[in-house]
A and B are shown apart, each in its own frame.
Chain A
Amino acid sequence: MTGWPILGHQLAVRQLQQAVSQDNVPHALLITGPENVGKMTLAHTLAQAMLCTADEDRPCGVCRACRKVAAGHHPDLLVISPEGPRGKLKIEAIRAAEQFLALTPHESRHKLVLVEHFEQATIGAANALLKTLEEPPGYAHLVLLAGDSESLLPTIVSRTNQIALRPLPVPLVEQALQSRRHVPAAEAERLARISGGRIGWAVRAVDEPEHLQQMEAAIAQWLALMSSDLPEQFAALKTLSRSDTDLRQMLAYWLIGWRDVLLLKTQAEAPLTLQEHRPALEQLAERVTIRQITALIERIGAAQALLQRNVNAQLLLETLLLAHQQTR
C-alpha cells in the first residue's frame, strides 16, 4: 500500500486507507480540527480513493474517476458548504444532499457528500441531516468537516465516526514548504511558525500573497487597537464585526501577537514571529503582566470557539476588548 498524498496525519490516513481497502468506510464520518489543518484535503483524498476505478493503490490519481474528482465533477461526489466565511449552512443545502443521495450511484459503487464547515449549519439543517444519518442508503457516505465536535448536536456526533486532526509539527510544515514549494529556508521557517502547524494556511500564504497581507493588516490593526482608548476601540470593533472579515482568522492572528508578547515578557530565547514589530511588542509587554497575557490567550481561545456557535460578534469582541482593557 503506497501512501496517500497527504502530509502528516498518519494515524487518520492509515485508518482510512485500511477502511477503503477493506471496503468498510463508515457511512458517516466527522473530521474535526482547526482551520486549514487539512480536513478537506483528507476528505477529498478519501473520496478519490473510494471512487477510483483502479484495482489497487487507490486513489491512483490517473483514472477517469480520479481526474473527475480532482476537477470537481465526479457525478457521485457532492461538496456542500455554507455561503461565505460567516454564512450559514442552510437546510436547502442539506435537502440537495438528500436528493443527491436518494438516487443510486452513477459511475461507482459509492456516493459521497462532503459537508464543509458543518459547525455553521442551522438547527434546521442539522436536524434535516440527522434524518439522513439515521438510515443512509448502503452506498451513501457522509463526511462532515467541523472545527470541533462540541459545537455540534450531540445526536449528530453520536451517529458519526470521528477523526480528529491536530496541527502538524511545525518543522514538518517548514520542511514541506521547502521541499514541495521551494520556499527559501528563512521564509519557510517563518511561515511554518506563523501557521502553527496548519499546513493549509502556510500553503495559502505561499500561493496567495494577499493572504499574508491580510495577516499583516490584522496584526497592524491589533497593535493599533492595543494603543487606542476605549471609545476608539469600540468604534473599530463595530466596523469589524459588521465587515466580512473572517473573525476567527483575525483572532488567530491576535494569538500570534500575544504569543510574541509573552516571549518578550519571559525573555525566552525563541525568535519572535513578528520580528518586524518588535518595538511595538516590547512596549505592549511593558504594560502587562504574564498572568494577564495567559488569561487573555485563554479568553481569545474561548472567543474563537464561541464564534463558531454564531454568537453576536460585536458583543463578543467587546467583552474581549474589555478584558484587554484591564491590562492597561
Chain B
Amino acid sequence: MELSCLQENLSKGLSIVGRAVPSRTTMPILRNVLLATDHGQLKLAATNLELGIVHWVGARVETDGAVTIPARNFIDLVNSLPAEQIALVVDEESQTLRLTCGSVKASFRGIDAEEFPVIPEPQDGAEMAVEAGDLRQALSQVTFAASGDESHKVLTGVLAEFEGQTLTLASADGFRLSVREIPLLHPIPQPLSVIIPARAMAELARIIGTQEEPVEISTTQPHNQVLFKLQDTVLNTQLIDGKYPDYRRIIPQEHTITVVVGRAELLQACKRAEIFARDATNIVKLAIGDGELTVEADSAEMGRGSTRLEANVEGPELEIAFNVRFLIDVLSAINTPQVVLELTTPTNPGVIKGVGDESFLHVVMPMHLGR
C-alpha cells in the first residue's frame, strides 16, 4: 500500500472513526484503526463490535493495500503534524506503516488487516432515506430517554419502526417515553422494526453534524446490522435482540387538564428549581392554577425557590411532582415556542408536546411524596 493525502483530511477522518475505538476491550485488534485503499480513496474504519464507523478520505493511491495501526498513537501523531501532504507506505511483509510528512518520519507496527472484524458496507440503491435535519432533531428528542441500565438491554436501545412513509423512533427508561415520527423520503413495501443501541444513535447524531444531504438507511441480511450512510461516512451498528415493550399502550389516551406555556420560560423555571432540588431525588412540584403554573422546589438543606409562569390552563387545579431532570431533558429537546402539558391526576402520567408539532410526544411519570 502506498498513498498520500492531506493532513487535515486524515486528521478529520481519524477523529470521526476514532470515536468507535473502544477504550477497554478483550480483543486487542479493536484498539487498531483500519487503513485501506478503496476505489482511489483511503478508507478508515474502527469498531467496538457494537458500532463501527467507516470514513473515506480523498487520497492519491499509488498501490492498493490495507493494514491496521494502533489507533490512539496514530491519531495523536497525525494531529501533531503540520498541515501538509502525508505519505503512507505499508511494508506488507512486516506489516509496518511508514509515514512521512515534511520533515517528520515515523513508523508503526501494525496487525494484518485480515484479522480485523469485517465491517459491512451499504449496497447500492439504499432501501430507505430520511432528511438529515429530521433525523438529527429526532435523535436529540429520543436518545436521552433511553435507559443506561445494561441489565435491561432492550431499553438501552432506541426502537426504530419503518412502515410505509414513516420512521418512528421511540425510547423509554422505565420512567419516561419519547416518541418521534419522521417522514421517509420514499415509502417502503415491507415494514421493519429494529432496536438500535442508544449509544450508537448518539454517535450518529454527532456525525450527522451540519450535513444536509439525506441519510440513507439500510440493513444487512439477515437484519443483523443497520447502516447509516452519510456523505463520506458510514456508521454501522449491531442491533439489540429482543422484544421492545409495546409503548403505544403507555401513552395516555385521555387527560383532564391542558396547560400551554412558553417553552423557554418553563425550561428556565425548571433550571432555577433544580438549584433547590439538587439532592439525590431532583423533585419539583408543578402547581397548576387559574391562568398560571408555578414551578417549585423545596429542599430541607438548601431552601426553596419557586417561579410563577403565566399559562393557558384548561381544567381543574392540580399539584403534581416530577423529576426536574426529566423535565429539563425534554424541554431542551423540543423546539416549538410553546409546549403543552396534558395531565390528569397527581398519580397519572403527564404528556408533554410542542404546540403545533404532532410529530413528537413525551410521557413522563410523576413522583409522589410518601406518607
Q: Is the CB of B241 within 8 A of A104?
A: yes
20 contacting pairs across A/B (C-beta < 8 A): A67-B115, A73-B28, A73-B115, A75-B49, A99-B153, A101-B241, A103-B49, A103-B50, A103-B240, A103-B241, A104-B223, A104-B238, A104-B240, A106-B225, A106-B238, A137-B241, A137-B242, A138-B241, A139-B224, A139-B241
With a cutoff of 8 Å between Cβ atoms, the chain A residues found around residue B224 in the complex are: 104-106, 109, 139
Give chain A nearest CB distance to B238 CB in angstroms: 4
Q: Is the CB of B150 within 8 A of A103?
A: no
With a cutoff of 8 Å between Cβ atoms, the chain A residues found around residue B150 in the complex are: 95, 99
| Chain A, Cβ-Cβ closest to B111 | A73
With a cutoff of 8 Å between Cβ atoms, the chain B residues found around residue A99 in the complex are: 150, 153
Give chain A nearest CB distance to B336 CB in angstroms: 36
With a cutoff of 8 Å between Cβ atoms, the chain B residues found around residue A139 in the complex are: 224, 241
Give chain A nearest CB distance to B158 CB in angstroms: 14
With a cutoff of 8 Å between Cβ atoms, the chain B residues found around residue A95 in the complex are: 150-151
Q: Is the CB of B114 within 8 A of A102?
A: no
Highest count of chain A CB atoms <10 Å: which of B28, B118, B225, B242: B118
B239 beta carbon closer than 8 Å to chain A: yes
Within 8 A of A (CB), among B39-82: 49-50
Within 8 A of B (CB), among A46-75: 64, 67-68, 71, 73, 75
| Prevailing SS type, chain B contact patch | loop
What is the size, in residues, of chain B's interface with A at 8 Å between Cβ atoms? Answer: 22
B117 beta carbon closer than 8 Å to chain A: yes
Q: Is the CB of B117 within 8 A of A107?
A: yes
| Chain B, Cβ-Cβ closest to A100 | B49
Q: Considering the chains assembled together, what is the distance between the CA atoms of A101 and B222 in angstroms?
A: 16
B27 beta carbon closer than 8 Å to chain A: yes
Within 8 A of B (CB), among A68-105: 68, 71, 73, 75, 95, 98-99, 101-105
With a cutoff of 8 Å between Cβ atoms, the chain B residues found around residue A64 in the complex are: 114, 118
Within 8 A of A (CB), among B147-189: 150-151, 153
Q: Considering the chains assembled together, what is the distance between the CA atoms of A6 and B197 in angstroms?
A: 40
With a cutoff of 8 Å between Cβ atoms, the chain B residues found around residue A104 in the complex are: 223-225, 238-241
With a cutoff of 8 Å between Cβ atoms, the chain A residues found around residue B240 in the complex are: 102-104
| Chain B, Cβ-Cβ closest to A96 | B26
Q: Which of A101, A106, A137, A140 contacts B49 (CB 8 A)?
A: A106
With a cutoff of 8 Å between Cβ atoms, the chain B residues found around residue A73 in the complex are: 27-29, 115
Q: Considering the chains assembled together, what is the distance between the CA atoms of A68 and B240 in angstroms?
A: 24
Q: Which of B115, B151, B241 contacts A68 (CB 8 A)?
A: B115
Q: Considering the chains assembled together, what is the distance between the CA atoms of A106 and B238 in angstroms?
A: 7
Within 8 A of A (CB), among B125-141: none
Q: Is the CB of B197 within 8 A of A103?
A: yes
Q: Considering the chains assembled together, what is the distance between the CA atoms of A21 and B225 in angstroms?
A: 25
Give chain B nearest CB distance to A138 CB in angstroms: 8
Encode B284-322 as 1/0 by CB contact (under 8 A) with A. 000000000000000000000000000000000000000
Give chain A nearest CB distance to B328 CB in angstroms: 30
Q: Is the CB of B115 within 8 A of A71?
A: yes
Q: Considering the chains assembled together, what is the distance between the CA atoms of A101 and B28 in angstroms?
A: 20
Encode A104-124 as 1/0 by CB contact (under 8 A) with B. 111101000000000000000
Give chain A nearest CB distance to B25 CB in angstroms: 10
Give chain A nearest CB distance to B252 CB in angstroms: 30
Q: Is the CB of B117 within 8 A of A106?
A: yes
With a cutoff of 8 Å between Cβ atoms, the chain A residues found around residue B151 in the complex are: 95
Give chain B nearest CB distance to A66 CB in angstroms: 12
| Chain A, Cβ-Cβ closest to B118 | A107
Q: Considering the chains assembled together, what is the distance between the CA atoms of A95 and B150 in angstroms?
A: 9
Q: Considering the chains assembled together, what is the distance between the CA atoms of A221 and B197 in angstroms?
A: 56
Given contacts A67-B114, A73-B29, contact A109 B222 (CB under 8 A): yes
Give chain A nearest CB distance to B219 CB in angstroms: 10
Give chain A nearest CB distance to B1 CB in angstroms: 19
Within 8 A of A (CB), among B318-355: none
Q: Is the CB of A102 within 8 A of B242?
A: yes
Encode B220-231 as 1/0 by CB contact (under 8 A) with A. 001111000000
With a cutoff of 8 Å between Cβ atoms, the chain A residues found around residue B114 in the complex are: 64, 67
Give chain B nearest CB distance to A109 CB in angstroms: 7
Give chain B nearest CB distance to A229 CB in angstroms: 50
Q: Considering the chains assembled together, what is the distance between the CA atoms of A107 and B224 in angstroms?
A: 9
Q: Is the CB of A75 within 8 A of B241?
A: no
Given contacts A67-B114, A102-B153, A139-B241, contact A75 B27 (CB under 8 A): yes
| Chain B, Cβ-Cβ closest to A139 | B241
Encode A3-34 as 1/0 by CB contact (under 8 A) with B. 00000000000000000000000000000000
